[in-house]
Amino acid sequence: MELLVVIAIIGVLVGLLLPAVQAAREAARRMSCSNNFKQLGLAIHNYHSAYNRLTMHGVGTKSGTLNGPLASGGHMYQAFNDHNAMQLSALVGLTPFFEQQGLWEQISNPLWVDANSNGTIDAGEQYPAMGPHPLTGGVVYTPWLTEIAMLRCPSDPGTGLPAKGRTNYAACLGDSQRTEASGGRNAGLELDGGHYAGWDPDGYVVNARSAQRGMYGKHRLGKFRDVLD
């Protein structure tokens, strides 16, 4: 009987203490997340101090053709293998400023990835400086698969690999969609020949009608002096 009472008391104590332990762990995770924001903010300030501008969103390299050539045999690159189609985020340029100089050197220089482990450079295993397209290319491009702990919120760790550039923090583009081909804010803007107002020569919509009012609108150069509120 006494043993049952002791077990019951222990059960009650565990029930009381467990929520407190979980709350303490979550508080620690929130503190870690806040520290990540602080480090990211310092990186932004240090970059601006060095270059008198913010990192740009939607930058990189571009090919003379829309998709770029396919690799011989097509076993490594699928599309956009020789460029990244100007699809790099503002976080890429910040990597040297939050203690990721090694990663930046991999990105900013041509990189060979021995995907088939035969010790030789085969077709499709040599990636250009600034890397391939992060979405449709670079299946084995190491920098795009690298997960930076500082860019992940401990409360939302995510699981499963391979994954590309997972982060819980993103640049603010503003209060509208980035592009729009038809419908939405560009409804009724279709021109003769099936083209839409706002298309650039490469066939991409430049901007939605609603202005990109964030500090990291695509292809836009921003400085601290542009922050007016």
Question: By mean pLDDT, which of 35-39, 123-127, 203-207 is the weakest?
Answer: 203-207
Percent of the chain's residues with pLDDT above 70: 55
Average pLDDT of the segment spanning 202-226: 66
Percent of the chain's residues with pLDDT above 90: 7
Question: To the nearest whole number, what is the mean pLDDT of the chain?
Answer: 70
Q: Verify that 183 and 159 share a domain, yes or no.
A: no
Q: Verify that 124 and 188 share a domain, yes or no.
A: no
Read off the pLDDT of residues 135-177 as tens digits, 9 standing for 90 and up.
765 567 888 888 888 888 888 777 666 677 788 888 887 765 5
Using CA atoms, how far apart are residues 201 and 51, in angstroms rounded to an integer? 30
Domain boundary among 154, 171, 188: 171
Q: Does some domain include residue 9?
A: no
pLDDT tier for residue 81 given thresholds of 50, 70 and 90: low
Q: Verify that 143 and 185 share a domain, yes or no.
A: no
pLDDT tier for residue 43 given thresholds of 50, 70 and 90: very high
Q: Does some domain include residue 228?
A: no
43 burial class (0-12, 13-18, 19+ CB within 10 angstroms)? Answer: buried
Q: Does some domain include residue 224?
A: no
Q: Does some domain include residue 159?
A: yes
pLDDT tier for residue 190 given thresholds of 50, 70 and 90: very low
Complete DSSP assignment for 177-215: -S--SSSGGGTT-B-GGG-BTTB-TTS-B---SS---ST
Four-CA torsion 64, 65, 71, 75, nearest 10 degrees: 130
* Domain enclosing residue 56, as ranges: 28-171
Read off the pLDDT of residues 44-59 as tens digits, 9 standing for 90 and up.
999 999 999 888 887 8
pLDDT tier for residue 67 given thresholds of 50, 70 and 90: very low
Average pLDDT of the segment spanning 190-213: 47
**pLDDT at position 150:** 86
DSSP designation for 126: E
Using CA atoms, how far apart are residues 167 and 170, in angstroms rounded to an integer? 7
When divided into structural domains, the chain yields a total of 2
pLDDT tier for residue 79 given thresholds of 50, 70 and 90: very low
Q: Does some domain include residue 10?
A: no
Q: Does some domain include residue 1?
A: no
Using CA atoms, how far apart are residues 6 and 13, in angstroms rounded to an integer? 11
Using CA atoms, how far apart are residues 112 and 23, in angstroms rounded to an integer? 46
Per the omega criterion (within 30 degrees of 0), is the bond before 134 cis? no
pTM over 0.75: no
Q: Verify that 189 and 107 share a domain, yes or no.
A: no
